[in-house]
């Protein structure tokens, strides 16, 4: 039964009606006429009638009493974040893998829950472990018996703990090992999802740097080439491997003075020996390339697509770029903003090696425009005799000295024109020239993941002073990236495009409030607003009812 409004002439009347199915049709039966709406509202009879019925509907009664401020609130907990992360955490298999890794260990606190809290904190409100310890007090987290800051620190140290080939902890005086607890977790996570990786034939690898506040660990913090543009701070180098679909496979960490070119072979060796990947094509940026690296990869019979430093490699800048040949078009000029960027490619064989020259005509025009603007500014400043532009690297490369004066280096200008919108790849694959270029362009996935770790998840700066804890903290960001990628894939399969900041804000806003009313305890859930409903639907999470019985007293 329900109340129906029916208009007759200038007035509206309220009726109590009941639906009844007769055959294939639903027929409405009038049970009672309440009267004219305006008179019922004027006299207050409608409010009295509804209020008298409300006391027989417990849920509505509690909600109405709470809206009028007649209930007592004893606790408010955020539940959206934990519901979402718990589902992803369990279905990605991370909880079970951590439990198995802890089988022979005896901690007096739930280590798996401490790691979960740290990863969830990275996901929703990134910051330090100290911030996580304060943050988690506002959240309902299953099986979380009063975790403290020391528990989070110890969980990070366990993830970064050194192990030997037999899985035992090395003695303190042993030489630096290469395997840690987090490595076994990554490999187990890969094995658990092996069916998804059964056709793994392409992996992407790149590195970035993370800086420290303070000393920067025992051995891992060193000064080196900083990609954070903070050369004065100690740092570490972080590498990440992604598969062809952008799924994180593993992470690696080295001291901050490790050159990119020395990091690729150890990663390839680990993929082969520990992940059981016999043949794969590695795609990496130009910082990874050296003759020694390429020789090791070919010795392992692995394929590669590597970017080449055109300006530093004279053979490439003179012979490969200068080789005649017709470009083949892969993508033409854009007609719509979302169309692929223009791409033309040609293959060059030089000194027994295969190179692919790629050109983007949009970038050609942009590079020419930018250079023209720089040269115009240079010529104007040269006329005025100012030397302030000498400190600008973008300006300085087009200059040469003539006595005590500067002038434009026209030879350098013509040389730079050859690089406009162009990049060169070296590969030993047999795949088509077009596919080589397109596979290399997918390397942006790794760069996007690093931006996620460094900006959204705020892995930097790092405050720990112990190598194991530092590595454990960065690994938790890796696990947060795994969860984020899983969620984004589930949303994409629904055909939805949701902004990440909206996802975090709307899901995190869902709370459950414990209230007392008429000697009973209830839990009231706030509304799922914005995109939260779609996120939970994609993740397969069922929200609790708006009102449910609360826990008993005591």
Q: Look at the chain and report how many structural domains it folds into.
A: 2
Helix (H, G, I), strand (E, B) or coil at 47: helix
Whether residue 524 is contained in a domain is answered as no
Helix (H, G, I), strand (E, B) or coil at 222: strand
Number of neighbours of residue 508 by Cβ within 10 angstroms: 18
Residues whose CB is less than 8 angstroms from the CB of residue 351 and which lie 6 or more positions away in sequence, other chains included: 315
pLDDT of residue 167: 46
The DSSP line for 381-450 is HHHHT--GGGG-HHHHTTEEEETTEEEE-HHHHHHHHTTTTEEEEEE---S-HHHHHHHHHTTHHHHHHH
Number of neighbours of residue 358 by Cβ within 10 angstroms: 23
Whether residue 400 is contained in a domain is answered as yes
pLDDT of residue 433: 93
Whether residue 429 is contained in a domain is answered as no
| Cα distance between residue 287 and residue 293, in whole Å | 11
Cα-based distances in Å from 495 to 86, 490, 538:
23, 9, 10
The last residue of a domain, from among 15, 30, 56: 56
Whether residue 379 is contained in a domain is answered as yes
First-residue to last-residue Cα distance in the chain: 40
| Cα distance between residue 407 and residue 321, in whole Å | 27
Whether residue 47 is contained in a domain is answered as yes
pLDDT of residue 462: 55
The last residue of a domain, from among 56, 73, 102: 56
| Cα distance between residue 63 and residue 325, in whole Å | 76
Phi, psi of 148 (to 5 degrees): -120, 170
Answer for the pair 86, 539: CB distance below 8 angstroms, yes or no.
no
| Cα distance between residue 486 and residue 479, in whole Å | 11
Phi, psi of 15 (to 5 degrees): -125, 145
| Cα distance between residue 244 and residue 239, in whole Å | 16
Domain limits for position 50: 2-56
Whether residue 162 is contained in a domain is answered as no
Pairing label, strands 281-284, 303-307: parallel
Answer for the pair 546, 525: CB distance below 8 angstroms, yes or no.
yes
Whether residue 110 is contained in a domain is answered as no
| Cα distance between residue 497 and residue 131, in whole Å | 31
**Partners of 218 in the β-ladder:** none
Answer for the pair 440, 425: CB distance below 8 angstroms, yes or no.
yes
**pTM, entire model:** 0.75
Dig out the tokens for 282 from the structure.
Answer: 């590695």
Residues whose CB is less than 8 angstroms from the CB of residue 320 and which lie 6 or more positions away in sequence, other chains included: 348, 350, 355, 357, 424
Pure H helices in 105-180: 111-124, 129-135, 149-159
Answer for the pair 223, 239: CB distance below 8 angstroms, yes or no.
no
Sign of CA dihedral 94, 99, 103, 105: positive
Dig out the tokens for 480 from the structure.
Answer: 């947060």
Pairing label, strands 328-331, 281-284: unpaired
Query: For residue 318, what is the DSSP state?
Result: I
Dig out the tokens for 428 from the structure.
Answer: 């030993």
Q: Render each residue's pLDDT in the chain as its tens digit; 554 residues.
A: 778 888 888 889 888 888 888 888 888 888 888 888 888 888 888 777 766 665 555 565 666 666 667 666 677 889 999 999 999 999 999 999 999 999 988 898 999 999 999 999 988 887 666 778 888 888 888 776 678 889 998 999 999 998 865 444 443 433 344 689 999 999 999 888 876 444 456 788 877 777 766 555 667 766 666 665 666 667 788 888 888 788 888 888 888 777 766 777 888 888 888 887 767 788 888 766 778 888 888 888 888 888 888 877 777 777 888 888 899 999 999 988 888 899 999 999 988 889 999 999 999 999 999 999 888 888 888 877 766 666 666 677 788 877 777 888 888 888 888 889 999 999 999 889 999 999 888 887 777 776 776 655 455 555 556 788 888 888 998 999 899 999 999 999 999 999 988 999 999 999 988 877 667 777 888 889 999 999 999 999 999 888 777 665 54
Whether residue 370 is contained in a domain is answered as yes
Cis peptide bond prior to 280, omega within 30° of 0: no
pLDDT of residue 173: 38
Answer for the pair 163, 169: CB distance below 8 angstroms, yes or no.
yes
Answer for the pair 246, 485: CB distance below 8 angstroms, yes or no.
yes
Answer for the pair 307, 289: CB distance below 8 angstroms, yes or no.
yes
Nearest CA-CA partner of 450 in 205, 183, 229: 205
């Amino acid at each position: 039964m329900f109340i129906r409004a029916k208009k007759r002439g200038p007035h509206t009347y309220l009726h109590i009606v009941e639906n009844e199915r007769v055959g294939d049709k639903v027929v409405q039966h009038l049970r009672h006429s309440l009267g004219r709406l305006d008179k019922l509202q004027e006299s207050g009879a409608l409010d009295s009638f509804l209020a008298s019925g409300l006391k027989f509907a417990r849920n509505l009664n509690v909600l109405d009493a709470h809206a009028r401020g007649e209930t007592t609130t004893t606790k408010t907990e955020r539940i959206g974040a934990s519901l979402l992360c718990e589902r992803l955490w369990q279905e990605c298999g991370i909880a079970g893998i951590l439990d198995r890794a802890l089988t022979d260990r005896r901690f007096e606190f739930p280590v798996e829950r401490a790691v979960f809290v740290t990863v969830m904190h990275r996901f929703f409100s990134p910051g330090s472990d100290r911030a996580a310890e304060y943050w988690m007090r506002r959240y309902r987290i299953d099986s979380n018996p009063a975790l403290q800051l020391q528990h989070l620190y110890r969980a990070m140290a366990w993830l970064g703990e050194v192990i030997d080939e037999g899985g035992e902890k090395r003695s303190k005086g042993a030489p630096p090992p290469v395997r840690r607890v987090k490595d076994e977790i990554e490999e187990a996570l890969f094995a658990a999802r092996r069916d998804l990786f059964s056709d793994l034939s392409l992996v992407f690898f790149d590195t970035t740097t993370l800086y420290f506040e303070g000393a920067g660990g025992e051995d891992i913090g060193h000064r080196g080439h900083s990609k954070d543009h903070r050369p004065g701070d100690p740092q570490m180098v972080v590498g990440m491997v992604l598969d062809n679909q952008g799924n994180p496979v593993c992470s690696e960490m080295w001291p901050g003075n490790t050159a990119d070119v020395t990091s690729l072979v150890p990663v390839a060796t680990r993929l082969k020996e520990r992940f059981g990947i016999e043949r794969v094509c590695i795609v990496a940026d130009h910082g990874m390339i050296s003759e020694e690296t390429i020789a090791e990869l070919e010795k392992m019979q692995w394929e590669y697509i590597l970017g080449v430093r055109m300006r530093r490699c004279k053979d490439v800048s003179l012979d490969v770029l200068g080789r005649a040949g017709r470009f083949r078009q892969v993508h033409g000029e854009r007609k719509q903003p979302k169309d692929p960027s223009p791409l033309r490619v040609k293959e060059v064989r030089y000194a027994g090696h295969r190179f692919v020259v790629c050109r983007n005509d949009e970038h050609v025009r942009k590079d020419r425009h930018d250079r023209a603007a720089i040269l115009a500014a240079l010529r104007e400043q040269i006329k005025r005799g100012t030397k302030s532009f000498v400190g600008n690297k973008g300006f300085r490369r087009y200059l040469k000295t003539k006595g005590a004066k500067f002038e434009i280096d026209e030879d350098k200008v013509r040389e730079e024109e050859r690089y406009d919108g162009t990049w060169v790849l070296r590969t030993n694959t047999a795949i088509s020239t077009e596919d080589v270029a397109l596979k290399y362009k997918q390397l942006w996935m790794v760069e996007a993941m690093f931006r996620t770790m460094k900006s959204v998840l705020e892995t930097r700066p790092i405050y720990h002073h112990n190598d194991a804890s530092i590595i454990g903290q960065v690994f938790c960001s890796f696990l947060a990236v795994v969860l984020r990628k899983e969620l984004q894939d589930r949303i994409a399969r629904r055909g939805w495009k949701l902004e990440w900041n909206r996802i975090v804000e709307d899901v995190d806003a869902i709370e459950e409030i414990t209230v007392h009313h008429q000697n009973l305890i209830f839990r009231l859930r706030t509304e799922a607003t914005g995109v939260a409903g779609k996120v939970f639907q994609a993740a397969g999470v069922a929200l609790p009812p708006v009102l449910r019985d609360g826990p008993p007293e005591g």
